[in-house]
A and B are shown apart, each in its own frame.
Chain A
């Protein structure tokens, strides 16, 4: 009776329904694989944490791995995502020993049982938590229940967040922790609750273990809080004195927390490479220069800010056909437009968020502009800045719904059109394994617009036609694993069916679910 009452309440609660819907669609889009070699390597680091296995498999070197203390091979990357995957890795490893799929495990087919357990459970967990945090944050910014739900669903299904919920780079984990830190620290600013500030600092500090560059997120969150004060326009003497006290409390609470996480990151660096001060980027460059002495002295930051036009580090993320954030995340230009049009109607917290999220994006763009692969290839879109873009796009749909009447019929309709296009683009990003278009462009030796090419690939594959740009010709893809993956829908039942090791009943069962 009690159980039935709980279910009835959950069924009548929009928030629990939002979380349930998020869990369901995240489960449905899974491929059962890590999605990229980077994450597969980070999972190997996870495995090394609790088993006797090395951080880097011998076959991976010299493509991957740096010689560290005692001449051992160590992985680059921070330890954050590896720690995140630890419980799922233990669970997945145990599950792979069950006799029910002994034959499948022995065949070493992909996706492996361990990869399925890790990717599905981690991605569903991250997405559900992100839904909860985004919903709460939009509520804190003053949006109603419906506006917050629309904004949250738009974030999850209408931005590149959807792609990274299938292909588990570090992006969505970083996004979740940044949004959590932002929400909690803003709650402290509004209520004075020190526990929120402490927990918010903990979330932002935890991010440092994944990538040290998330120090920019810490700066952006502090900048957001400052901007809330600036846009509040209350500049009385009492307010100024209180602002000084608030700053002092903020620094006294957050800096020690950040220092602890920075120390943990440095400790991990010392354990691997015997240094407290260097970064894995520098060591990685040294290692790669050893194999390729022709690399420039400033490698990997050997790119250019503007030289190279639309393929340069600054203009590329904005305008290049392969990576433009306006094309990959159409909600971002919509958010920009709505912020400008509605600026006079926006409260101080919304103005502050719009400016702070754009600042974060600008900082990331400048930071990665000179990196030799400024977009982090192989990746869908520009993965180094996509989390910041998603943050900047967060307000788009919530603003659209709230100011529907004020915007007028034309803007409202255009806005809905952009949302529909954006969702279609994100859904298309799930259809194939992400290097397909990269292979195609490599094959013909020139660039193309990635998104239209993806839609063409979907149409051709669905109708049983040859894929464009010669990708189906013999020898176009030499690696058989890659060839299999780019010729299969990137969803778990399709992959298992294509590999042909899993029993058909299991594939049909998965299809049924």
Chain B
């Protein structure tokens, strides 16, 4: 349970950093 919850938490953070933030940064770069 604890390890499972930690895994979900880490995966959400990982996807935010790897995809969402990367896409946002790319969008800002394109606008600049």
Which A residues lie at the B interface, using CB under 8 A? 11-14, 17-18, 20-21, 24-25, 27-28, 144-146, 149-150, 511-513
In the complex, what residues of A have CB within 8 A of residue B11's CB? Answer: 21
Contacts of A17 in B (CB 8 A): 10, 13-14, 17
A414–B2 alpha-carbon span in the complex (Å): 34
**Bound CA–CA A20/B17 (angstroms):** 14
A145 to B25, CA, bound (A): 13
CB contacts (< 8 Å) of B4 on chain A: these are 28
Can you report 9 residue pairs joining A to B where beta carbons are below 8 Å apart?
Answer: A13-B17, A14-B14, A17-B10, A20-B10, A24-B6, A28-B7, A512-B1, A513-B2, A513-B3
- Residue B30 is within 8 A (CB to CB) of chain A in the complex: no
* Distance to closest chain A CB from B29 (angstroms): 13
Distance of A447 Cα from B6 Cα, bound (Å): 41
Q: A11-B13, A17-B17, A18-B14 are in contact. Are A146 and B22 (CB under 8 A)?
A: yes
CA of A12 to CA of B10 in the docked complex: distance in angstroms?
11
CB atoms of B7 and A24 under 8 A apart: yes
CB of A14 within 8 A of CB of B18, answer: yes
B7 to chain A, nearest CB (A): 4
Chain A residue numbers with a CB within 8 Å of B17 are: 12-14, 17
Residue among B2, B4, B17, B22 with most chain A CB within 10 A: B17
Interface contacts beyond A14-B14, A21-B7: sample of 11 additional A-B pairs, CB < 8 Å, sorted by A: A12-B17, A13-B17, A14-B17, A17-B14, A17-B17, A20-B10, A24-B10, A27-B3, A28-B3, A28-B7, A145-B18
What's the dominant secondary structure at chain B's contact region?
Answer: helix
Q: Please, which residues of chain B bring their CB within 8 A of the CB of A13?
A: 17
A149 to B14, CA, bound (A): 9
Separation of A79 and B22 alpha carbons in the complex (Å):
45
Give CA–CA (A21, B11) in the complex, Å: 6
Per-residue contact bits, chain B 9-25, to A (CB 8 Å; 1 contact, 0 not): 01101100111001000
CB-CB < 8 A to A28: which residues of B? 3-4, 7
A11-B13, A17-B13, A24-B10 known; A149 and B18 CB under 8 Å?
yes
A24 interface neighbour in B1, B3, B19, B22, Cβ under 8 Å: B3
Contacts of A149 in B (CB 8 A): 14, 18
> In this complex, what residue of A is CB-closest to B21?
A14
How far apart are A283's CB and chain B's nearest CB, in angstroms?
A: 44
A21 and B14 contact, Cβ closer than 8 Å, known pairs A28-B7, A144-B22, A145-B22: yes
Task: Give every chain B residue within 8 A of A18 (Cβ-Cβ).
Answer: 14
Inter-chain CA distance A11–B14, complex, in Å, is 9
For B1, B2, B14, B22, the residue with the greatest tally of chain A CB atoms inside 10 Å of its CB is B14
Q: Which residue of A lies closest to B26 (CB)?
A: A144
Shortest CB–CB separation between residue B1 and chain A, in angstroms? 5
Q: Across the interface, which residues of A come within 8 angstroms of B3, CB to CB?
A: 24, 27-28, 513
The closest CB in chain A to the CB of B22 belongs to A146
B contact residues around A146 at 8 Å (CB): 18-19, 22
Complex CA gap A119/B8 in Å reads 23
Q: Give the chain B neighbours of A511 by CB distance below 8 A.
A: 1
Give the one of B1, B2, B10, B11 with max A CB within 10 A: B10
Question: Which 5 interchain pairs have the tightest Cβ spacing?
Answer: A17-B14, A24-B7, A146-B18, A14-B17, A149-B18
With both chains docked as a complex, state the minimum distance between the C-beta of A78 and any C-beta of chain B, in angstroms: 34
Chain A residues with Cβ below 8 Å from B1 are 511-513
Contacts of B14 in A (CB 8 A): 14, 17-18, 21, 149
Query: Nearest CB to that of A512 among chain B residues?
Result: B1
Instruction: Provide the residues of chain A in CB contact with B13, threshold 8 Å.
Output: 11, 17
A44 nearest CB across to chain B (Å): 30
Given A11-B13, A12-B17, A145-B22: A25 in contact with B2 (beta carbons within 8 A): no
In the complex, A18→B19 CA distance in Å?
Answer: 13
- In angstroms, Cα B22 to Cα A146, docked, is 8
Query: Which B residue's beta carbon lies closest to that of A148?
Result: B18
A21 touches B19 (CB 8 A): no
Smallest beta-carbon distance B3→chain A, Å: 5
Q: Which residues of A contact B19 (CB under 8 A)?
A: 146
Q: Which of A14, A25, A144, A512 contacts B7 (CB 8 A)?
A: A25
| CA–CA, A247 and B14, complex, Å | 41
Question: Which residues of chain B come closer than 8 Å to A25, judged between CB atoms?
Answer: 7
Question: Whole-angstrom distance from the CB of A48 to the nearest CB of chain B?
Answer: 34
**How far is A13 from B14 in the complex, measured between Cα atoms in Å?**
8
B6 vs chain A, min Cβ distance (A): 6
Distance between B2 CB and nearest chain A CB, rounded to angstroms: 5
Q: How far does the Cβ of A370 sit from chain B's closest Cβ, in whole Å? A: 43
In the assembled complex, the CB of A508 is this many whole angstroms from the nearest CB of chain B, namely 10
Docked complex Cα distance between A339 and B32 (Å): 34
Contacts of B10 in A (CB 8 A): 17, 20-21, 24
A131 to B21 alpha-carbon distance, docked (Å): 21
Complex CA gap A18/B13 in Å reads 10
Min Cβ gap B30→A in Å is 14
